[in-house]
Chain A
């Protein structure tokens, strides 16, 4: 039975690289977006704060599949541009994970003790410097576990991109299955790959956190 896997290995491996590629881009851009939105919510910039709140609440109340349908079907129809499944998937993942990460960053920022902010201001740093040099470094160390939770969640969620026709690992597996019809072998193999990738990432997260933990 495993010959199905061996025979289609190059195709499946290509799917795996696409999964990793989607994950890496979405994680990098999503973290950036989350950091910006979380900081905007923390500093309470007048108009931007409301916009950020609407964005975060909207995404957090919407299933990922629907977000992908919006970036793949609805937004191109509305704004009249063309997109590919790959680009729409990354766009959707970034929007999706950005909203969750923004909340994580915001709670991390709020967990920094206010006395440190006062002390920073008293030494003559500007507000921006206090944010960048004092609050953010501590906040980021504090939110590492939740960041990695979201990253692991995102890797699993990249499987949903198969629904909008991206042949990442799940999509590739389904295609192979459509041709060969060995659902048990193929799905088991895919599940094991996800299991390994996700466990490795969450172990890495734990190790990082242990290394950088804020000792109080």
Chain B
């Protein structure tokens, strides 16, 4: 091993790294919001009474989940190029649809785990179906699936690195740029993987915001979806 470590170019390029980090956070945060909405809607639809609605929800999740994220991004960026979407929107769309399908699966499992009696008694007290879902079923389901959501969200942040291939200037993209200018390959990639590690660890704590999830989370911080 006669590799000479030289971390000074990394420090000199800190502006680019911070810029990339902010872009990674932006892409992830917007996609996280969209995929949560997609997950809640499609996951709810997957437990609906109507067979057609359930079938559509199932079709959506299976199609979105079984296509690689990279292909999702290329489809928005290249195949649907006539839409002239900026790269940022392509990344967000791809990431939201892909992760949304995973969130939907988890939400569906969570709703299934809430006792049937909860829904029935909610309806019996005179709540509408929507109210019963909103006030009775979803809060309990979310609490149960908090650990899985945490791991999905940290996966989403890591997956956002693929946005670099469609030229979104996020962390991995900037790392490639710095590597190209300085040739400090090892230092650059170790630095950004440590940044991702911190980011992912911090973000997996986000689900603590779900009321009542704190106690369950201690048990399965890294439970996989």
Contacts and interface: CB of A to CB of B under 8 A. Distances in A.
B66 A77 contact: no
Contacts of A188: 75, 79
Interface in A33-92: 57-58, 60-67, 69-70, 73-75, 77-80
B22 interface: no
A194 B67 contact: yes
Contacts of B200: 60-61
Given A63-B196, A66-B193, A78 B3 contact: yes
B186 A77 contact: yes
B197 A57 contact: yes
Nearest to A71: B189
A79 B1 contact: yes
Given A64-B158, A188-B79, A156 B193 contact: no
Of A61, A187, A198, the most chain B CB neighbours within 10 A belong to: A61
B72 to A, nearest CB: 8
A152 B224 CA distance: 14
A170 B68 contact: yes
Contact of A162 (B69, B70, B78): B70
B62 interface: yes
B71 interface: yes
B78 A183 contact: yes
A65 B193 contact: no
Given A69-B189, A73-B179, A198-B66, A159 B1 contact: no
A187 B196 contact: no
Interface residues of A, number: 45
Interface in B163-194: 164-165, 172, 175-176, 179, 185-186, 188-190, 192-193
Contacts of B63: 195
B50 interface: no
B224 A63 contact: no
A82 to B, nearest CB: 14
Contacts of B161: 63-66
A187 B75 contact: yes
A62 to B, nearest CB: 4
Interface string B187-219: 011101100111011000000000000000000
Contact of B67 (A149, A156, A183, A184): A156
A149 B81 CA distance: 32
A66 B196 contact: yes
Contacts of B222: 60, 103
A65 B71 contact: no
Given A64-B158, A187-B74, A195 B193 contact: no
Contact of B196 (A61, A80, A195): A61
A74 B186 contact: yes
A73 B66 contact: no
B66 A195 contact: yes
A67 B197 CA distance: 12
A100 B78 contact: no
A63 B68 contact: no
B158 A73 contact: no
Contacts of A152: 66
Of A65, A100, A190, A195, the most chain B CB neighbours within 10 A belong to: A65
Interface in A103-118: 103-104
A177 interface: yes
Nearest to A162: B70
Interface string B139-172: 0000000000000001000111110110000001
Given A63-B193, A160-B70, A170-B70, 11 more contacts: A58-B193, A61-B196, A66-B192, A66-B196, A69-B176, A70-B193, A74-B186, A78-B186, A100-B224, A160-B162, A194-B68
Please give me the 7 A-B residue pairs with the lowest Cβ-Cβ distance, nearest first: A61-B197, A63-B161, A198-B66, A156-B68, A63-B158, A159-B68, A62-B193
14 contacts: A61-B196, A66-B193, A66-B196, A69-B189, A73-B189, A77-B185, A79-B3, A100-B224, A104-B224, A160-B68, A174-B74, A184-B80, A194-B66, A198-B65
